[in-house]
Amino acid sequence: MSATRRKQTLIKLVRFYPVFALGLLAIAYLFGGFTHQINPIFPQAEVLTTLSIFMVAMPVLFILGFMLVSILSDRELKRSVAKRNKFAYEDAFELPNEKMSGYKLALITGREPTLTGLTGDRYKADDSATCASNPEHVPPVIDCECGFYAFKNVKEAKFELSINPGVFLIDVDLFGVGFEYERGYRAESQVVNHLTAPKRCMRCKIFSPKVFVASYKIGYTDQTWWQWGLRCGLCSHTFKQSDVLTIKEMADLLKVVIV
Ligand SMILES: [Zn+2]
Ligand SMILES: [Zn+2]
């Protein structure tokens, strides 16, 4: 299990903490922990002790868990840096020369539908990467995160797809200078071969999808955006004509084959 995965599991557990605490209170109440009965099943003193231990012990355990995960992820980072150093080719022409085909996830956002990475960077079907942190960079740069990313393994992309609702799977070829990393590639330019339409409506997950519809999303801060999803006839009938596109129209606008 990677450090990221462990952290995700811990975060999920933290969300259950209030449920655990309420459950414990309910059990204590049911067994007479809060009454002044002469002979409750759990004497009040014991209930209070258990509750106090729980209130103190659980947060401490979570803090220790997060500390452990951060130590592990530091180690993972050091290992990957060590690996990357081995990777610093003197001459770009000595880079491994293999065809970089991969899979990645994309949202379709904007009034004018545009492929958008999960980090928010928007790109065309055939595009070259730009660096958001340093305009001097021609991506990919070794010590930066810029460049187009793709998973090598379709299974990995499909797993990420399953935990990111509203996202599409696309199949890409990467060109130019490229780096290979543990999970895939990072390269200079990218051509989208096709977008795989989900088999079922993205809302009800029952019927087969018919049209793309645009809905208005409101972010945590004050940003808002339009996001396109593929839906069945039933889940799209309330949409205005201007917020609906057929699969063919979407394919033409994105200049990407939709399969
Ligand atoms: Zn950069
Ligand atoms: Zn539906």
Q: Tell me the per-residue pLDDT of 32-55, one tens digit each, with 9 for 90 and over.
A: 777 666 666 667 777 778 778 877
The protein residues having their C-beta less than 5 angstroms from ligand 2 (an ion) are 201, 203-204, 207, 232, 235
Residue 96 — very low, low, confident or very high, per pLDDT cuts 50/70/90?
low
Exposed, middle or buried: residue 47 (CB in 10 Å: 0-12, 13-18, 19+)? buried
The dihedral region occupied by 129, where left means phi > 0, alpha psi between -120 and 50, and beta the remainder, is beta
Ligand 1 centroid, distance to 7 Cα (angstroms): 27
Question: How remote is the CA of residue 73 from the centroid of ligand 1, in Å?
Answer: 23
**C-alpha 129 to ligand 1 mean position (Å):** 9
Distance 14 CA to ligand 1 centre (A): 35
Look up residue 92 and give its amino acid. Answer: A
CA of 184 to the centre of ligand 1 (A): 18
Q: First CA to last CA across the chain, in angstroms?
A: 33
Measured in residues, the chain has a length of 259
CA distance 224 to 61: 38
103-143 per-position pLDDT tens digit: 999 999 999 999 999 988 999 999 999 999 999 999 999 88
Compute the distance from residue 52 Cα to the ligand 2 centre, in Å.
48
Task: Report DSSP state, residue 186.
Answer: E
Q: What is the predicted pLDDT for the residue at 50?
A: 79
Dist. CA 171–CA 101, nearest whole Å: 8
Q: Alpha-carbon distance 86 to 88, whole Å? A: 6
Cα 56 from Cα 219, distance rounded (Å): 35
CA of 187 from ligand 1 middle (Å) equals: 11
Name the more confident of 157 and 56: 157
Residue 130 CA to ligand 1 centre (angstroms): 8
Residue 1: helix, strand or coil by DSSP? coil
**Which protein residues have their CB within 5 A of the ion that is ligand 1?**
131, 134, 137, 141, 144, 146
Supply 89's token pair. 């080719």
Tokens 């039933």 found at: 234
Taking residues 80-93, report their average pLDDT: 58
The closest ligand to the CA of 206 turns out to be 2
**What is the C-alpha to C-alpha distance for residues 115 and 111, in angstroms, rounded to an integer?**
12
Between strands 184-196 and 257-258, the pairing is: parallel
Ligand nearest to the CA of 202: 2
The H-assigned helical ranges of 31-113 are 44-86
